């Protein structure tokens, strides 16, 4: 048995993320891997394996949440969660720099960086938006005098003035709100790409919209491989499997591959 987390990419094709496999005793028998039971007898071990697919997860994350400005990281996953952009003039540089260093210490429980390069503020804004940093702090002499900073969100571009006394609390609130906003947008998009089809012809039409197509199938065992191959040859789709936790059974439906009574709903999608 295999359990996997499939996701969708922006072009409507599916990408398999983490997966776990029940290997049974196939390898333990081949390599004579045994253990002693309570009664002193030996038996071959049962094995599983798990592929975390870290690089694929990040590839999917970049593709799903990114925009025309660059990457957009969820707050919790960002290498740099907050970037501080000092707005400095020659006569205020020392004081602004000192305040920025104080802010870095104050926010040291987060992944924070500051851009003291000689580039313009606009260049710095674009650079760190390209890199997907969730939150940006802008601070200049006038902000220091007001005891505040300007906080900008990467996902919406919204800016707000935040008093220094409330900065940590506001960063955490806006960071989590950013992540939730990304999740809701992705979930809504994903839900719109899950279709249903009860026949071969309906599958052919639905798959052109991209995403997953839920179809009635005769089985999810070896005997259904020929049906899956027929669908692959005809529509360039792969039968991905059943949805975990979905116990609904087809009633009065026929397998789209062979026409036999359907016993399970499986999902079809195009993959890379």
Question: Does residue 67 lie within any of the structural domains?
Answer: no
pLDDT of residue 241: 94
pLDDT of residue 177: 98
Q: Shortest CA distance to 143 belongs to which of 163, 126, 125, 123?
A: 163
pLDDT mean over 79-104: 96
When divided into structural domains, the chain yields a total of: 3
Query: Whole-model pTM?
Result: 0.85
Q: pLDDT tens digit string along 156-201?
A: 999 999 999 999 999 999 999 999 999 999 999 999 999 999 999 9
Question: Does residue 64 lie within any of the structural domains?
Answer: no
pLDDT mean over 114-140: 97
Instruction: Please state, in angstroms and as integers, the Cα–Cα distance from residue 177 to each residue in 119, 171, 172, 181, 224, following that order.
Output: 30, 10, 8, 6, 45
Q: Given a cut of 90, is residue 272 above it in pLDDT?
A: no
In terms of domains, do 121 and 216 share one? no
Q: Given a cut of 90, is residue 1 above it in pLDDT?
A: no
Written as six digits, the tokens of 250 are 């087809």
Question: Does residue 83 lie within any of the structural domains?
Answer: yes
CB 35 within 8 A of CB 26: no
Q: Shortest CA distance to 107 belongs to which of 168, 160, 170, 150?
A: 168
What angle, 0 to 180 degrees and rounded to 10, lies between the N-to-C axes of helices 93-106 and 167-191? 70
Q: Give the 3-state secondary structure of residue 10.
A: coil
Domain hosting residue 171, numbered range: 75-189
Question: Does residue 65 lie within any of the structural domains?
Answer: no
Domain boundary among 189, 221, 255: 189
């Amino acid at each position: 048995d295999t359990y996997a987390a499939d996701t969708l990419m922006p072009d409507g094709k599916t990408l398999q993320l983490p997966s776990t496999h029940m290997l049974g005793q196939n390898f333990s028998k081949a390599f004579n891997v045994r253990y002693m039971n309570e009664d002193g007898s030996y038996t071959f071990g049962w094995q599983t394996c798990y592929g975390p697919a870290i690089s694929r997860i990040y590839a999917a994350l970049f593709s799903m949440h990114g925009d025309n400005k660059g990457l957009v990281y969820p707050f919790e996953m960002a290498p740099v969660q907050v970037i501080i952009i000092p707005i400095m003039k020659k006569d205020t540089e020392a004081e602004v720099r000192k305040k920025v260093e104080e802010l870095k210490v104050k926010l040291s429980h987060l992944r924070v960086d500051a851009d003291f390069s000689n580039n313009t503020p606009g260049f710095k804004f674009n650079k760190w938006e390209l890199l997907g940093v969730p939150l940006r702090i802008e601070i200049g002499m006038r902000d220091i005098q007001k005891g505040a900073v300007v906080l900008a969100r990467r996902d919406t571009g919204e800016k707000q003035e935040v008093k220094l006394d409330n900065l940590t609390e506001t960063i955490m609130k806006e960071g989590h709100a950013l992540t939730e906003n990304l999740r809701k947008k992705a979930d809504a998009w994903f839900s719109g790409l899950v279709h249903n089809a009860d026949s071969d012809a309906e599958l052919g039409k639905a798959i052109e919209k991209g995403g997953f197509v839920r179809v009635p199938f005769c089985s999810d065992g070896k005997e259904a491989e020929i049906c899956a191959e027929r669908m692959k040859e005809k529509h360039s789709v792969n039968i991905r499997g059943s949805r975990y936790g979905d116990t609904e059974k087809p009633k009065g439906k026929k397998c789209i591959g062979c026409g036999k009574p359907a016993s399970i709903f499986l999902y079809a999608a195009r993959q890379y």
